[in-house]
Amino acid sequence: MPNIGEAPLLQTTHCGHAEELAEDATRRGDVDGVVVVGGDGIVSEATAGLLKGAARECGLFYDDPGVRLVRPGITLGILAGGSTNSFVTSCNGTEDIVTHVLQIIMGNRRFVDAAVMHAQGSMVHVSPSGVHAGYLGSVQETSVKLRHIGPVREVLAGIREFVRNRSYECQIRYLARADVRGPYEGEVCRADCATCSSPQPSADSEGTWRELNGKIYNATMTLASQQCRYSKHGVSPLCHLGDGNLDLIVAWKASRLATFKRYLQVALKKDHLHSNSAQAFRTTEVHFSSHSAPLNCDGELRYYPQFVFKVHRQCLGLYSRGREPLSSLELASLTNNF
């Protein structure tokens, strides 16, 4: 059980401040854990700080896309305080802060994946959750302009972009492996997950690079199910937190009616990947190119015409036991939220 009798309370004051504080914590020898209160954005910042600090201590050049990051000795705790809280909900099956506090107090810990985005010759983003290109990037772009009207801006931005129904020309290359089950099959990631506990695939088992070209509506690269109040079972319900893979979900340009049906399926159905018009692939690395698609990186708006998004397996320690069986915690969460 961690010693949490006394701990400094720090408030962030600017973008990137959480990353600075987390990286500074790795320089000290008396920090066992860092707890953040907020949404996916501050979780991403803290993750980046911890991984950069650990890489620096080991003399690793983290701006190199080929570097293999090491796990920091500091565990990350999360108290949900954002607008969607999709990552922490994917981990614990609930947004309930009491549950998150108990996980930290009891010292429950598991190791999860994180993915690093490299663009323009450097590491530009780190996420244990995922990134979105296209529609969700445009929603964030519009939402930033409407920040003065409060939380309702996200709904209004989503409606506006739905009506516009824009598409984005892009090229996507991803590494496919024959020895990895796809996102259409398997079990939901839970506590003591057998998939996440399985050995690392052999380095000799090389994958095959595959390419997608065309006009997309949205592309999601996710390391978690992305379960939240807007999607009962998540964008990728069978995505695992610690198997070393991410799920690439590509929604191609479609009519407004087809897009609306897709929305309903993602919001309500567990098997929506089988029935909607999107394609899903499981991979460890994605190379994305588009001169028009804005990026939503854990709530931060970014523009990169080309980037690499690569998974580092179980490189982050998290205060979490994992989602409980459906009969208890998850069932209660779904009942409360829907």
DSSP for 64-97, please give it.
Answer: STT------SSEEEEEE-SSS-HHHHHHHS---H
**Rounded to whole angstroms, how far apart are CA atoms 130 and 46?**
15
**Rounded to whole angstroms, how far apart are CA atoms 326 and 185?**
18
Q: Is the pLDDT of residue 151 over 90?
A: no
Q: What is the mean pLDDT of residues 198-215?
A: 82
**Rounded to whole angstroms, how far apart are CA atoms 251 and 240?**
21
Q: What is the pLDDT of residue 27?
A: 92
Q: What is the pLDDT of residue 66?
A: 92
Sign of CA dihedral 89, 90, 93, 97: negative
Q: Which of 154-168, 268-282, 316-330 comes out lowest in average pLDDT?
A: 316-330
Domain with CATH 2.60.200.40 in the chain: 127-184+211-313
Domain with CATH 3.40.50.10330 in the chain: 17-115+315-337
Topology of domain 17-115+315-337, per CATH?
Answer: Rossmann fold (3.40.50)
Q: What is the pLDDT of residue 207?
A: 85
> What tokens does 17 get?
């401040």
Q: Is the pLDDT of residue 164 over 80?
A: yes
Topology of domain 127-184+211-313, per CATH?
Answer: Tumour Suppressor Smad4 (2.60.200)
Grade residue 338 by pLDDT with cuts at 50, 70 and 90.
Answer: very low
Q: Is the pLDDT of residue 154 over 50?
A: yes
Q: What is the pLDDT of residue 203?
A: 56
Q: What is the pLDDT of residue 4?
A: 55
